[in-house]
Amino acid sequence: MAEGNAFETFAASDAAHYRTLARLWAASVTVVTVRPDDPARPDDGFTATAFLTVSIDPPIVLVSASNASSAASMMREAGAFAVNLLARDQRSLADAFAQPHEHRNFVWSDLPIVRDPAGVALLAGSLGAFSATVRSFVDAGDHTLVLGDVTALHLGHPGEALVYHDRAYGSVDPL
């Protein structure tokens, strides 16, 4: 690691250093919940830190879903989804929804939820959630970017956000 005002420079294709630099980006932790278009399929969801609000007018959000996990296919099978902003004390939810699909079915059994107008699960105790319908997909390397038209805003419990930085959970303290 460089010291002072110096930088070490690497090729953009250097995956190890790309991951190292990306880990230094602190991000809010969200759980994206989906309701598949097929009513016979159960609720599902995944943990995501690559989320952003794109536009206020019209209201649009973006989620980055990994193609290597079930996240991208889950989003392609969903017409509606919600981005739940996790509170500092919801680390266990972040961990549970980060598990592979076959290991996270247990998550829903005791999870307190509320349904949005489209039937998508909103996680109780979260800071809030954006409900959305899929607008479009953008293939972006090993991820799929999902743009969503926001259909409802849900303000939850006030509190501190759960953040992820350099392989660890934390929160933000005001300066």
Q: Is the pLDDT of residue 40 over 90?
A: no
User: Per residue in 105-131, pLDDT tens?
Assistant: 778 888 999 999 999 999 999 999 999
Tell me the mean pLDDT in the region 39-46. Answer: 85
Q: Is the pLDDT of residue 100 over 90?
A: no
Q: What is the mean pLDDT of the chain?
A: 90
* Token digits of residue 161: 């956000």
Q: What domains sit in the chain, N to C, each tagged with a CATH number?
A: 29-170 (2.30.110.10)
Q: Is 97 exposed, middle or buried (0-12, 13-18, 19+ CB in 10 A)?
A: buried
Report residue 153's pLDDT band, with 50, 70 and 90 as the boundaries.
Answer: very high
Report residue 144's pLDDT band, with 50, 70 and 90 as the boundaries.
Answer: very high
- What percent of the chain is modeled with pLDDT above 90? 57
Q: Is the pLDDT of residue 37 over 90?
A: no
pLDDT for 1? 64
Contact 80, 120 (CB under 8 A): yes
pLDDT for 63? 96
Sheet holding 59-66, edge to edge: 44-48, 30-36, 78-85, 128-140, 143-155, 59-66, 51-56
